[in-house]
Amino acid sequence: MTVISSSFVLVFLLLASLCCAAPATNPKATTISIVASKPTSSLQSAVPKAAASSQSAVPKPAASSQPAAKAPPALLSQATADEAGGGVPSGPLPATSFTPNAVQLFKVANFIENIESAFFAQVLQSLGKDQNFNAPATDGRSIANVTSQIAAQELVHIATVGGLLGAAGEQAVPACANVVGVTDTNDFLARSNVITSASIGVIIGLISTLAMSDPTLVRPLASILSTESQQDTFFRMSGNNTPSAAPFNTGLSTTFAYNIALTFVDPRSCPQLMPLPILPSLNLTSPMMTATAPVTPPTSITFNATEVPRDGNLYVGWVNQANPVVYTNVTLKNGVGSADVPKGLTGITFAALTAQMTEITVDGLSNVTLAGPAAVLLS
Ligand SMILES: *[C@@H]1O[C@H](CO)[C@@H](O)[C@H](O)[C@H]1NC(C)=O
Ligand SMILES: *[C@@H]1O[C@H](CO)[C@@H](O)[C@H](O)[C@H]1NC(C)=O
Ligand SMILES: *[C@@H]1O[C@H](CO)[C@@H](O)[C@H](O)[C@H]1NC(C)=O
Ligand SMILES: *[C@@H]1O[C@H](CO)[C@@H](O)[C@H](O)[C@H]1NC(C)=O
Ligand SMILES: *[C@@H]1O[C@H](CO)[C@@H](O)[C@H](O)[C@H]1NC(C)=O
């Protein structure tokens, strides 16, 4: 039980990283400087309020229950933990050895989680007067109410991840300062779906990597994964989509998730970038990312190709569900690129411009991507 609860801490770290990805389709959105809503003064360990069950050990601040171990920094207010439904996992820190691989993946997760948190915090401020955002639904909760809880959960994830990295003798990743703003509730829902889908996608990838290097982290990650899916379901349904569009969610590489997350911020405002490639964005001109999937799924995409190399054949690699990457040909005409959407893709898919069509894994495609990934909502 102890091992499991400690792995939960790690899982939360990973969740954070998973959460934040967004399409770069909104280059003209304004950049808003975020006022940190993370409480830095009232520091206290949160007690899990809604902790279920039998396996909850001592519902006391971690610090007091393990005086010998280096306790994670307590960065959470009780109010945040209450709103989130619980705080940083209690109990001893994970007994697992943090492999260098796991440290690196947790830092990527920390980076993405920071962005996700800042995105939700920014939206709660900027849409404070938006009627669709604040109107209560029949259950009495508005989109703002639910988003507020999700934002609190992100703060718990960040505190948890930071604490785990600290226990491994590593610095937490500092947050990027400037987040790209949203224009309205529909824009928010569209981008939230992208972020959570990217988060889900990177967690799927992290689990398969950590299963080999740090297997005790798999269980907590799987727990985080299902929470992310619940959050995505909320965003999808708020946008009048079916709760789940496909039998499988789509796994992503850290590089793809990182690049999606970077579209939510001004990268120049990030004190520390990750040692991952920053790819040119694939600037779609159709379909634009929307909260609601089109009634008829798009059969092609178009993108601004003025900066795209003209020599040789180009392809779009499509990542969807648990399938191998599939490719369609790119046609360039008057500075506009177009490619068909392969048949059989559903839900949200990720498209990347490339000059080859032999890589069948998303990791392989990530190494040879010329621009992208771009999120495309099909259903
Ligand atoms: C929703 O948020 C408003 C504004 O913060 C708050 O007054 C209200 O109690 C919340 N409703 C629920 C059901 O949480
Ligand atoms: C295409 O991109 C170029 C530079 O990247 C920009 O100058 C141009 O306005 C864009 N065209 C459209 C239609 O967005
Ligand atoms: C997409 O647009 C950005 C900003 O205009 C530009 O820097 C980038 O090169 C474009 N990507 C492609 C593949 O043209
Ligand atoms: C795509 O391009 C390849 C050559 O790279 C060609 O063999 C193939 O027929 C093309 N497919 C379609 C559907 O046009
Ligand atoms: C991608 O590139 C990295 C760095 O060169 C390499 O270590 C990795 O094996 C490559 N992955 C795939 C799937 O080709």
Q: Which of 55-69, 138-152, 182-196 has the lowest mean pLDDT?
A: 55-69
CA separation, residue 147 to residues 104, 124, 278, 302 (Å): 29, 8, 29, 32
Mode of pairing for the β-strands spanning 336-340 and 31-33: unpaired
**Average pLDDT of the residues in 23-48:** 32
pLDDT tens per residue across span 109-123: 889 889 999 999 999
For the cut 70, the answer to whether the pLDDT of residue 48 exceeds it is no
Please say if the pLDDT value at position 269 is more than 70.
yes
306-353 confidence digits (pLDDT tens): 998 878 999 999 999 999 999 999 999 999 999 999 999 999 999 999
Is the CB of 367 within 6 Å of ligand 5?
A: yes
Ligand 3 close to Cβ of residue 5 (< 6 A): no
Per DSSP, the residues of 121-140 read HHHHHHTTT-HHHHS--TTS
Residues above pLDDT 70, as percent of the chain: 79
CATH superfamily of 7-54+68-269: Ferritin, core subunit, four-helix bundle (1.20.1260.10)
Q: In angstroms, rounded to a whole number, what is the distance separating the alpha carbons of residues 142 and 10?
A: 31
Q: How confident is the model at residue 94 (pLDDT cuts 50, 70, 90)?
A: low
258, 358, 362, 363: which to mutate for ligand 5, most atoms within 8 A of CB? 363
Q: Closest ligand 3 atom, CA of 306?
A: 14
Residue from 232, 231, 234, 245 nearest 294 by CA: 245
Average pLDDT over residues 98-105: 89
Tell the CATH topology of 284-377: Immunoglobulin-like (2.60.40)
Whose C-alpha lies nearest to ligand 3, atom 14?
A: 307
Phi, psi for residue 304 in degrees, rounded to 5: -70, 120
Q: Which of ligand 3's atoms lies nearest the C-alpha of 307?
A: 14
Confidence band of 74 (pLDDT split at 50, 70, 90)? low
Q: What is the structure's pLDDT at 115?
A: 92
> Which tops the pLDDT comparison, 58 or 137?
137
d(CA 286, CA 13): 35
**pLDDT the model gives residue 206:** 87
pTM, two decimal places: 0.83
Better pLDDT: 70 or 254: 254
- Closest ligand 4 atom, residue 313 Cα: 5
Domain map (residue ranges) of the chain? 7-54+68-269, 284-377
